[in-house]
Copies of this chain bind each other. A is one copy, B any other.
Amino acid sequence: MKLSTMSRGEGTSTAAVLVDGLWRRLPAPDVGAWLQSGQDAEPGEPLTGWRPVNPLPSPGKVVCCGLNYADHITETGRDLPTHPTLFAKYADTLIGPDDDIVAPDDVALDWEAELAVVVGRPIHRAGRDEASAAIAGYTVANDISVRDWQRRTLQWFQGKAWDRTTPVGPVVVTPDELDPAAGVAISCRVNGEVVQSADTRTLVFDCAALLSYISTFTLLRPGDLVLTGTPGGVGMAMDPPRFLADGDLVETEIDGIGVLRNRVRLLA
């Protein structure tokens, strides 16, 4: 099943489900609210002239995992981890699948293509099986990072929590249709050039492991979002380092989910 949040203009939005190639309304303003409502996916009226926006505009928690692909860990010069490296970002960072990535023109902006997992039911201190069963679906994200701020101190948060920098979408695919642990291609292109290309099979901590681990210390609720980390190929690891320029087009793709196409807008 594919779920999305659709809009036909400012201030309008609805959750939607794809049925025989046609998006149909679900009775909630967005996928997060629909998951919280606990309702069945009973398709309503068809939605023509609507476009997919950020499926999860207001998750209470957005938890991110760093250093979770073996090749990206290697490019940062580190050993394979025994525990996931976690940090938080805010719902305010999230934008839709074709929104502009907006940042000041004096920061070092970098890409991080990521598989994101959407929580479908409340979990607290959940084992692997319970965590796995709580997965509502998967979506694409790009944890666009402000590298100079990320590296100012020991804690990455201030490089990761810039409003309107993290595209999410275009749809949420339920686990019956997609199994990232079995292997799904993930990639990032900048102005058409492939900069990241990997397989979710090589995640050190898979989605169920991450949800279980996080639920040890905090309650996860329907609509919460966990970004699972980025593979190798980020700009800061290039020689010389490469950062995003005004007007660059960042495309983030996961097979079976879809593509985010976001233009970089750097403001004075």
Q: Is the CB of A163 within 8 A of B218?
A: yes
**A interface bracket (residues with beta carbon within 8 Å of B):** 20 to 34
Contact B86 A217 (CB under 8 A): no
Tell yes or no: A48 within 8 A of B by CB. no
A50 at the binding interface (Cβ < 8 Å): no
Residues of B within 8 A of A154 (CB): 66, 85, 154, 156
Cross-chain contact B90 with A161 (CB below 8 angstroms):
no
Question: In the complex, what residue of chain B is closest to A124 when comparing beta carbons?
Answer: B163
Could you tell me if B83 and A152 are in contact, using CB atoms closer than 8 angstroms? Answer: yes
Contact in complex: A155, B152 (CB < 8 Å): no
Complex contacts, A67 vs chain B, CB 8 Å: 153
Contact B218 A86 (CB under 8 A): no
**A142-162, CB < 8 A from B:** 146, 149, 152-158, 161-162
Contacting A153 at CB < 8 Å: which of B85, B93, B157?
B85
- Interface flags, A9-53, vs B, CB<8A=1, else 0: 000000000000000000000000000000000000000000000
Q: Is there contact, CB below 8 Å, between A85 and B162?
A: no
Taking Cβ atoms with an 8 Å cutoff, the residues of A that contact B are 60-61, 66-67, 81-90, 92-93, 124, 146, 149, 152-158, 161-163, 214, 217-219
Can you list 15 A-B contacts with CB-CB less than 8 angstroms, sorted by A residue number? A61-B90, A66-B155, A82-B152, A83-B152, A85-B155, A86-B155, A88-B90, A88-B161, A93-B218, A124-B163, A157-B157, A158-B214, A161-B217, A162-B218, A163-B217
